[in-house]
A and B are shown apart, each in its own frame.
Chain A
Amino acid sequence: EDQVTQSPEALRLQEGESSSLNCSYTVSGLRGLFWYRQDPGKGPEFLFTLYSAGEEKEKERLKATLTKKESFLHITAPKPEDSATYLCAVRTNYGGSQGNLIFGKGTKLSVKP
């Protein structure tokens, strides 16, 4: 069964304390891995797409990496405004023309000043 597991469920950091969020996946054929940010009461907002093992993408304090079985979202020197729930999603090669997009349950990040 295809699965996407995010850990930890919740993470509390002090401002400036770097850390990583994990997204592990078991799918038969990976077409792409996506990271989204979701603020309370809002819809998810796209951050990154990764397509192949070894690929890395960066945006401000965030860096996403991909291996054959997991992805990491590294947060360097976080600020309180980075507080949000971070969602990982995997698109598979099958499931019609759209592929099948499987979301993880998310990691809720809180950054305290």
Chain B
Amino acid sequence: NAGVTQTPKFQVLKTGQSMTLQCAQDMNHNSMYWYRQDPGMGLRLIYYSASEGTTDKGEVPNGYNVSRLNKREFSLRLESAAPSQTSVYFCASSDAGTGSNEKLFFGSGTQLSVL
């Protein structure tokens, strides 16, 4: 069972470069999320997608764009990376909206450094 798969695991960018973080889930979940985790702070929601074809901003969306390519895949794009975007990024999925199945399943994360 792969669950939620993120690529790449590590990435170093220069300021101004662009990149896309990929995420795929094989649990047939409707909802997918992108979070960032910084030292001394809780996980913060960047964007989420409640269902295929929809995306919504979370708490910290500035500097990011997302694409819900299909039910399985949800990508996060940094158009012009900044040092403030140095962080660990997690993709997650859930069957939100189905009552008790609100738990999130997380990928293993992407450690991004912007120099």
CB pair A91–B102 under 8 Å, yes or no, is: yes
Are B108 and A42 touching (Cβ within 8 A)? yes
- Residues of B in contact (CB 8 Å), total 24
Closest residue of chain B to A42 (Cβ to Cβ) is: B108
Chain B: which residue is nearest A88 at the CB level? B42
Contact partners of A96 in chain B: CB under 8 A: 50, 56
Contacts A49-B100, A98-B48 known; A44 to B106 CB distance under 8 Å? yes
Mask of B1-20 contacts with A, CB within 8 angstroms, 1/0: 00010000000000000000
- The reply on A34 being an interface residue by CB < 8 A is yes
Smallest distance from the beta carbon of B111 to chain A beta carbons, Å?
A: 9
Contact B42 A104 (CB under 8 A): yes
- Residues of chain A with a CB closer than 8 A to B48's CB: 98
Contacts of A87 in B (CB 8 A): 42-43
Question: Which residues in B have their C-beta under 8 angstroms from that of A46?
Answer: 103-105
Determine chain B's interface SS by DSSP, over half rule.
Answer: loop
Interface of A is mostly: strand
- With contacts A42-B109, A49-B102 taken as known, whether A102 is within 8 angstroms of B50 at the C-beta atoms is no
Tally of contact residues, A, Cβ under 8 A:
23
B40 to chain A, nearest CB (A): 7
CA distance A98 to B35 in the complex (A): 15
Looking at B31, B43, B97, the one whose CB has the most chain A CB atoms below 10 A away is: B43
Docked complex Cα distance between A101 and B97 (Å): 14
27 contacts between A and B (CB under 8 A): A32-B102, A34-B103, A34-B104, A36-B104, A42-B108, A42-B109, A43-B4, A43-B106, A43-B109, A44-B43, A44-B104, A44-B106, A46-B105, A49-B100, A49-B102, A87-B42, A89-B42, A96-B50, A96-B56, A97-B50, A98-B50, A98-B56, A101-B45, A101-B104, A104-B42, A105-B42, A106-B42
Q: Which residues of A contact B (CB under 8 A)?
A: 4, 32, 34, 36, 41-46, 49, 87, 89, 91, 96-98, 101-106
